[in-house]
Amino acid sequence: MDAELADLRARGLGRWPRLLEGPQRPIARYDGREVINLCSNNYLGLADHPALKAAALDAIATLGVGSGAVRTIAGNMAIHQQLEAELAAFKRTEAVLLYQSGFTANAGTVAALLGPEDVVVSDELNHASIIDGCRLSGAEKKIFPHKDAEAARRLLAASRGARRRLLITDGVFSMDGDIAPLPALVEAAEEFGAIMMVDDAHASGVLGQDGRGTVDHFGLHGRVHIQVGTLSKAFAGLGGYVAGSRALVELLMARARPLLFSTSHPPSVAAAALAAVRLVQQEPHLIARLWRNARRFKEGLQRRGFDTGASETPITPVIVGDERRAMALSDHLFEEGVFALGIAFPTVPRGRARVRTIVTAAHTDAQLEAALEAFARAGRAVGVL
C-alpha cells in the first residue's frame, strides 16, 4: 500500500479532499478558508433550504431515523412509496423505483436486466456506475465514440444475435457539460428493438420543464424505456431512482441487488427529497436563475479568453490541456478565494486536463464577478491566458 500510495502521490493523484466545515453553500469554508464554491452539484442551492430541512426534521420526529431493513424485507416505508409516486408523476412515467443512490440505480439496474447472452452499447464517456453495472452483468460491451449516434447504430446492427440489446448514455456528461444526442440514439434503439436507457444525474432538476430531464428537454416522453435520476445533486440530498414502466419496476424490485441486500433510505432522506421534488415545480425561478447564472459565468470565462470546451449546461470546464498547469490553476484559484477542482487523466483524456466549475442558482452576481476576476488573475499567473 505504501508503494502504491507513493506512486499515486508522485503523479499528483491521491490527494486528500478538502475539508468542508459548515453547510454546503455558494460561500463555504474549505480547509479553514471562506471561498466562493464552484465545486458542488448543489445546482439549485437546496442543500440547506429551510423547506427541505423542515421536512427532514418532521420525518425524524414522526418516523424515526432508520427504516430498519432492506426494502424487500421490512424496510418498505410509506414515505418511500409516496416519493416514488410523486417522482413518477414528475417524470411522466408509469412507475418509479427508488435506490439508495444514483450509483446503485445505474449499476443495480444494468446488472439486473442484462446477462452474458446480452449486448450493451455504451458511450465512451458514460459514468463509472454504468461501467460497473456492465461489468457485473457479464454482458458483451460495445463502446461507441462520444456522442456518435451513427456508430451506436452500427454496433446495434452488428448485435442481432443478442437476447437483449441495451443502448445507454449519460444525459448530461459530467466532465464536459455537453448533452447526449438523445433523439438520434432513440431512433437507433427503436430501429433495432433495443432498450434505451439514459442516466440523467446531471440533468435532474436542471434540464427540461421544471427539471424533468433530457427526455423532456428533447420531447421524447414515452420513447426512453429507462431513465435514471439522482436525488443527490440538484435535489440536494441522497438517493437515486429508475423511472419507466410498471413491469420494469416490478422486475427490478425482485432482481436488483442493491434493493435486495442493502437497507432503504432513512425516512428523513426520503422526506427531504419529496420536499425538493415539490419545490422545483412550485418555484420555477430556481431553475431559471441557475441557467441565467450559468450563461453569465460561461460567457464571462469566454470573454476573458478561456476555453470552455463543449459545455452546454451549468457544468463549465476550463480546458487547460497540461495536467500540472490545470492543477496549478486550481491551486492558484484557491489562494484567490475560489474553489474549483482540477481534473486530469484518468477522469478525463490525457492532454485534456481542466478546471471544472459548476455555478448554482444561489450564487449572487457579485460572487460570480469576483470569481471571474480571480480566474483572470490566476490564469495569467500560471500561463493559461
Catalytic center residues: 174, 202, 233
Q: Using the rule CB under 6 A, which residue among 91, 127, 298, 356 binds ligand PLP?
A: 127
Query: Of the listed pieces 95-103, 205-213, 256-264, 265-273, which binds ligand PLP according to CB under 6 A?
Result: 95-103
For ligand PLP, give the closer residue by CB, 56 or 328: 56
- Which amino acid is present at 230? T
For ligand PLP, give the closer residue by CB, 180 or 372: 180
Which grid coordinates are listed for 20?
A: 468542508
Indicate the helix (H) or strand (E) that contains 311.
Answer: none
- Which amino acid is present at 57? L
- Residue 170 interacting with ligand PLP (CB under 6 A): yes
x/- map, 187-226, ligand PLP, by CB under 6 A: ------------x-xx------------------------
- 3-state secondary structure (DSSP) of residue 359: coil
Query: Of the listed pieces 56-64, 101-109, 115-123, 377-385, which binds ligand PLP according to CB under 6 A?
Result: 101-109
Any idea how long the chain is?
385
Smallest distance, Å, CB 312 to ligand PLP? 15
Indicate the helix (H) or strand (E) that contains 305.
Answer: none
- Residue 300 interacting with ligand PLP (CB under 6 A): no
Angle 45-307-378 (CA atoms, 0-180°, nearest 5)? 75
Smallest distance, Å, CB 88 to ligand PLP? 18
Smallest distance, Å, CB 168 to ligand PLP? 11
Q: Using the rule CB under 6 A, which residue among 106, 308, 316, 357 binds ligand PLP?
A: 106
The dihedral built from the CA positions of residue 295, 299, 300 and 302, taken in this order, carries a sign that is positive
With contact defined as beta carbons under 8 Å apart, do 372 and 302 qualify? no
Q: Using the rule CB under 6 A, which residue among 45, 240, 266, 379 binds ligand PLP?
A: 240
- Residue 102 interacting with ligand PLP (CB under 6 A): yes
For ligand PLP, give the closer residue by CB, 111 or 384: 111
What sections of the chain are H helices per DSSP?
A: 2-10, 50-63, 78-91, 102-113, 128-137, 149-157, 182-192, 214-217, 246-255, 257-261, 267-282, 285-303, 323-335, 365-381
Residues 6+ apart with CB under 8 A from 140: 116, 118, 119, 120, 159, 162
Q: Using the rule CB under 6 A, which residue among 109, 232, 264, 311 binds ligand PLP?
A: 232
Provide the binding-site residues for ligand PLP, judged by CB under 6 A. 101-103, 106, 127, 129, 170, 174, 199, 201-202, 230, 232, 240
